Amino acid sequence: MNIPNLFAAAAAKSSQLELLYIWGQATPESKGIIFCLLILSVVAWFVMFSKVIQMRRGRKLNEFFASEFQSQKGVLDLFDRRIQAEGCPHFMVYHAGSVELDVRLRNPEGARKRLVSLKGIEHVKRSLENTVAQESLKLESGLILLAIAVSGAPFLGLLGTVWGVMSTFGHIAQEGSASLATMAPGVSAALITTVAGLLVAIPSMFGYNWLVHNLRVQTVELDNFAQQLISRIETEFLDE
C-alpha cells in the first residue's frame, strides 16, 4: 500500500467535504453573492482572453503592414493597389489618411494633382488624429469590466461576509447560547464569500495591469506611425 498517496487522497476528500459543508451552511444571501461573483469571474476571464487575442493579432498585423509600407516608394502605392487589412490598427490609420489625401489631390475633373496645399495637409492630419483616437478606444473597450471586477469583487465578498456574520450572531442571540460549535459553521460560511471575492479580484488585477501596459505601448506606436505617415505625406505632396 502506498501510504503517502493514501494520506493525500484522504486529505483531498476531507478538504472537499469541508467545502461542501461550508457551502451547505451558507445563507441564501451568501449563495446569491457567490453566484454573482461567479458570473463576474466568467466575464472578467472572457475579457482578458479576448483582449489578449486582439492585441497580439493587432501587433502581428502592424508588423506585417509596417514592413510592407516601408518597402513602398510612394505613400499612396498601397492605397492605389486597394489592399485591405482588417483588424490592423496601423492600416486603419493609413487608410483614413490616404482617403482624405486622395480627396484633397483630386481636381474638379477627377484627375489627381501632384501637390496639395498646407490647408489640405491639415485636413489629413485631423483625419489621422481622429482615427488614432478611434483605434485607441477599440483597444480600450472592455477594460472597464476588468476594473469593475478588481474594485467591486472584494466589496461584494465583504458584503457577504458581514451579512453572514450578522445572521450568525442574530441566530445565536435568538438561541440564547453562544459556543464555538454554534458560531463556527456560520462564520466559516460567511468567510467563503470574501474568499470568492478575492479569487475574482486577484487575477483580474494582474490581467488589467498587463492589458493597460500593452494598451499604452500600442497607443504610442500608433501615434508614432501617424506622425511618420504625415511626415512622408508632407515630403511627397506638400505644395510649398
pTM above 0.75, yes or no: yes
CB atoms within 10 A of CB 162: 13
- Report the pLDDT value the prediction gives residue 45, as an integer from 0 to 100: 93
The angle formed by the CA atoms of residues 95, 100 and 104, to the nearest 5 degrees, is: 145
The pLDDT tens digits of the residues spanning 70-118 come to 888 888 888 888 888 888 899 999 999 888 888 888 877 767 777 778 8
Q: What b/e sequence results for 13-49 when a residue is b if at least 16 CB atoms lie within 10 Å of its CB, and e otherwise?
A: eeeeeeeeebeebbbebbeebbebbeebbebbbebbe
pLDDT at 239: 67
**pLDDT-based confidence at 240, cuts 50/70/90?**
low
**Burial category of 114 from C-beta neighbours within 10 Å (exposed 0-12, middle 13-18, buried 19 and up):** exposed
Confidence of residue 180 (pLDDT cuts 50, 70, 90): low
Q: What is the model's pLDDT at position 6?
A: 38
| pLDDT, greater one: 12 or 223 | 223
CA distances 133 to 126, 234, 238, Å, are: 11, 21, 25
Of residues 22, 45, 33, the one with CA closest to residue 159? 33
13 pLDDT higher than 50: no
The residue extents of the domains of the chain are 26-237
Q: What is the pLDDT of residue 200?
A: 92
- Mean per-residue pLDDT over the chain, rounded: 81
What is d(CA 18, CA 12) in angstroms, rounded to the nearest whole number?
Answer: 10
Q: What is the mean pLDDT of residues 65-72?
A: 85
At 137-173, the pLDDT tens digits run 988 888 999 999 999 999 988 888 888 777 777 767 6
